[in-house]
A and B are shown apart, each in its own frame.
Chain A
C-alpha cells in the first residue's frame, strides 16, 4: 500500500516537474521579452525628435515655465534612472498620467482597448468563419472556378487600400443605402444609455437587455468589422489552402481514400485535423494584428480604439500614452503567443 502511494506520488511529481518547468520557462521568457520591449520603447520615446515639454507648455511659454515642466517630467535625470523610475511605476500598474489629457494612461487604455477588442474579435470571427472553409474548398477543388474566385478575393483583400474600401463602403452602405450606421460606435440617441461594464457595447447592451442599443451598435460595427474580417479572410484562406494542399498530397490521405473512407471524413477528419495547429498560429497572428488597432480603419470610422489612441499620442508627443499603449499591444502579442502554444499542446500529441 505504502509502496503504491509512493509510486503515485513520484508519478505525480514526475508529471508536475516538466509542467512547472514549462510554466517557469514561459514566465521567464515573457518577463525578459516585456523588459526588452519596455526598454526599447522607452529609449526610442526619449531619443525621438519630439518634445513632450513643448507639447505641454505650448510655443508661447516662457523659458522658466518650460524648465519647470522639464524638471517636473524628470527629463533632467539620466536616461537609465528615468527608465528605472518608469519600470517601478509600471510594475505597480501605473503607466503615468497622459501628458495631454490629464488622465491616468491606464484609464485611457481601459476606455479605448475594449473598442478595438470588440472590433477585432468580430473581424477575426468573420475572417475565420469564411476564410477557413473557403481555403479548404479551394484546396479540395484545386484549379476549379471556386479556387479562382478564392484567389481573386484574397488578391483584392491583400492589395486594396483599406481606407479606400472603407470610404467606399461608407458611401454605399451608409450614405446611399442607409443599411448600416455611420462613423462612430453608436448613433447619438443611443449614447450613454447602457452602463459601461466591459466597454464593449455589444456585450454591455446584451447584459443590460437593451436590444435597441445592441442593434444600433451592431449596425455601426458591422461595416468596419467586415472590412477587417475581409483582410484577415484573405490571409487565412490563402494559408488554409496551402496547408490543406500539403496534407492532401500526403500518403496517408491516399491510404484513407483507398480504405474507402468518405471524402468528408478524409478532408475534415484527417487532413483538416492535421492543419489545426498551423491554423491556430495563423489565426492568432491575424487576431493580434487586428488587436494592435487598425489605425486607418479607426480614423475613417471614427472608432475610438487603441490604434488611433497610440497614433494621436505619438503625434502629440504624449510619451506616457505611447509607452502605455505599446506595452499593452506587446502584452497582447505575448499572451496570444502563449495561448497558441497552449493550444498546440492540446491539439498536437507530439508537443505533450
Chain B
C-alpha cells in the first residue's frame, strides 16, 4: 500500500496538524480479559507454519504453535529455552541432537503431543519445500533423506545434520515459524491430493500453543482464543483480536478512545501526538530490518577500496535519523541487528564529506562520474536516496535515482545489473548466520553460480576470507567463541565490504497504560500474548 500510503500521509498532514493538538476524548474500555490490537495484517498469505513467512502471519503462528525450543518473551536475551523439548543431548560427532519430548502436552484437539508429531511436522516442512524451507534444508535435510535424518523413537526425536553445525545455530533455526509443531492426526485427516494438509492448514490451525485460532478474515481481523490446557497455565487474555486498521490516524483514534489496547502502526506524527494523551504509553523495540546501500563490484570505479570507504562517509546518518526517520530507525552499521548473538554496536562512520573527497581523489575518480541507484517505491527509501544523491553531488558524483516496483528493481538487482542498490534486509531466522550467510558469504562469485539469494553475490563481491570465516563460525559450538567470531567478521566487513549498513528499524507501539508485558518479539521473534496482563 505504499503509493496509497504516501498519498494519504501527505494529504492527511492538515488533519494531522489539527489532531496533534490534545483533544479530550470520550473514553471506552476493552474488557479486562481481552486484548485488542490494531495492526496491518494484509500481509498474511497463509497460516501453515511450513509456509508462513510474513510478519503478521508469524505473530499468529508464534501464539498458536509450540516449537521444540522457543524464546521467552519476558527474557529474550536468554536465548532459546526448552518448550516441547524438555531437554536435549548432542552426539559426540556434533551432528545429531536428540530431543526428549515434554510429557503431558496436548494439542488444541485434545490429542497428546508426541514425538511422532514432531517428526511429522519437521519432515513435512522439508518435503513441502515452501519458501521458508531453506531454514531447515540448509542442514542437509532433503525430501529423500528426512526419514533417516529426522526420526522419532519412543519419547525422543533425533535430527541428524550433514555437518557438525553449532548447536546454537540449529536450535535458533528451530525457533523460526517453520519449527511449529502440528497435530499429525488432525492435519492428515484434512489432506487433499497428497498435500500433507497444506491447503487446509493455510486457513486453519492445529497447534498446541497458548491460543487457538477462532477466525482469520483476510484484511479484516484475526481472532484467537486462549487454550486453557496451555502448559504454562491459561493466559490472562482469554481472547486476542488483531484488527486490520490501515490508517495510522484511525489506529490512533481507536487507541485514544479506548476501543483498542495496542496500536502497532502509528506514524511518527501520531506517535508524537499520543505521547501526551492520557492513559497511553509508547514502547520501543528494536526490530531486525536493516537499511543499506550496496555497490556493484562489477563497476570499475565502485569496486575500488577507497570508493567503498568513501560511500560510508557520505551518508548523513544523524541528519536522517533525526528528521524523516525519527523514531523509526536508529543508526546501525553492522550486518547483525542489535539483539542478535554476536551483534556489534560499533559505528565508526560519520558524515564527513571532506574525508570522502580525499578518498575519492586517492582512487582517482573522474569528476562528474554518473552512477545509477535502484530503489523500490517506498517513501523512506526514496528519501534516503535523495539524501545520498545530495551528498554525492557535493563530491562531484551524479547519482540518478531509478524508482521502480519490486519486480523491476529486485529483478535487476538479482541479475547483478544495478550500480548501486538501496534497500532493506530483514533476517529470516534468529541466528547470526541468517545475515552472515548472505552479506559475508559468497563461495562462487561467477555469473554462472546464479546465487541470487546471496547479497554478496548480487553485488558481485568476492568476500575474500570472509566466506571461510562465516563457514567456520557456523560450526563453532562454543557460544561465546562463536559470538566473538561474528564480531571479528563484522569488523572486517565494515571496513572492506561494498555494503554501507546505515540503520536498524525500531517498532514503536502505543499501548493503553494498563497493558503490561506486551512484546513484539524484538528482532529475533514475533509478538506473543500469553504473558500479557491488563
Contact = CB atoms under 8 A, between A and B. Distances in A.
B246 A299 contact: yes
Interface in A20-58: 49-51, 54, 56-58
Given A61-B131, A177-B26, A51 B406 contact: yes
B466 interface: no
A315 B53 contact: no
Nearest to B198: A102
A315 B134 contact: no
Contact of B202 (A102, A175, A304): A102
B411 interface: yes
Interface stretch (B247-255, B285-293, B440-448): B247-255
Contacts of B246: 299, 302, 308
A243 B2 CA distance: 42
A311 interface: yes
Interface in B134-181: 134
Given A192-B215, A311-B1, A163 B8 contact: yes
Contacts of B245: 183-184, 302
Contacts of A63: 450, 452
B390 interface: no
A60 B132 CA distance: 8
8 contacts: A111-B217, A163-B11, A175-B23, A188-B36, A188-B243, A304-B219, A304-B220, A309-B219
B84 interface: no
Interface residues of B, number: 64
Interface stretch (B14-22, B320-328, B353-361, B512-520): B14-22
A267 interface: no
A301 interface: yes
B218 interface: yes
Nearest to A172: B23
Contact of B25 (A101, A163, A175): A175
B53 A58 contact: yes
B19 A167 contact: yes
B183 interface: no
A61 B450 CA distance: 12
Contacts of B280: none
Contacts of A56: 45
Contacts of B214: 192
Contact of B4 (A108, A192, A299, A309): A299
Contacts of B254: 182-183
A295 interface: yes
B117 interface: no
Interface in B179-215: 199, 202-203, 214-215
A168 interface: yes
Contact of A171 (B18, B131, B408): B18
Contact of B131 (A57, A161, A163): A57
A174 interface: yes
Interface in B395-415: 404-408, 410-411
A138 to B, nearest CB: 30
B131 A178 contact: no
Given A58-B53, A302-B246, A163 B12 contact: yes
Contacts of A308: 219, 246
A315 to B, nearest CB: 5
A103 B34 contact: no
Contact of A161 (B11, B18, B129, B247): B11
B23 A315 contact: no
A176 interface: yes
A296 interface: yes
Contacts of A98: 218
Interface in A51-106: 51, 54, 56-63, 65, 98, 100-103
A58 to B, nearest CB: 5
Given A164-B12, A168-B15, A188 B241 contact: yes
B484 interface: no
Contact of A302 (B2, B11, B244, B410): B244
B245 to A, nearest CB: 5
Interface in A144-183: 161, 163-164, 167-168, 170-171, 174-178, 182-183
B407 A54 contact: yes
B63 interface: no
Contacts of B408: 49
A65 B218 CA distance: 25
B3 interface: yes
A201 B31 CA distance: 23
A51 B244 contact: no
A182 B15 contact: no
- In the A-B complex, the 5 residue pairs with the smallest Cβ-Cβ separation, listed nearest first, are A178-B26, A51-B407, A102-B202, A101-B218, A167-B15
Nearest to A321: B218
Nearest to B2: A315
Given A187-B259, A300-B247, A176 B131 contact: no
A139 B411 CA distance: 60
Nearest to B423: A59
Given A51-B407, A167-B249, 19 more contacts: A98-B218, A102-B199, A108-B218, A163-B8, A163-B11, A167-B12, A167-B250, A174-B253, A175-B23, A176-B25, A178-B28, A182-B253, A182-B257, A189-B31, A295-B4, A302-B246, A304-B217, A311-B1, A312-B219
Nearest to A98: B218
A164 B11 contact: yes
A281 interface: no
A184 B243 contact: yes
Given A65-B129, A312-B1, A315-B3, A101 B44 contact: yes
Contacts of B215: 192
A65 B404 CA distance: 24
A175 B26 contact: yes
Given A49-B405, A101-B45, A163-B8, A65 B18 contact: no
A182 B30 CA distance: 14
A242 interface: no
Contacts of B221: 191
Contacts of A312: 1, 42, 219
Contacts of A101: 44-46, 203, 218
Interface string A203-224: 0000000000000000000000
Nearest to A61: B131
Interface string A289-304: 0000001100111101
Given A167-B15, A302-B246, A312-B1, A51 B219 contact: no
Contacts of B253: 170-171, 174-175, 182-183
Contacts of A50: 405-407
A301 B199 CA distance: 32
Given A102-B46, A295-B4, A300-B250, A65 B131 contact: yes
A171 B16 CA distance: 11
Nearest to B452: A63
Interface string B209-248: 0000011011111010000000000000000010111110
B487 interface: no
Contacts of A51: 405-407, 411
Contacts of A163: 8, 11-12, 15
A167 B411 CA distance: 38
A247 interface: no
B104 interface: no
Contact of B243 (A54, A300, A302): A302
Contact of B23 (A59, A171, A184, A189): A171
B410 A54 contact: yes
A274 interface: no
B6 to A, nearest CB: 12
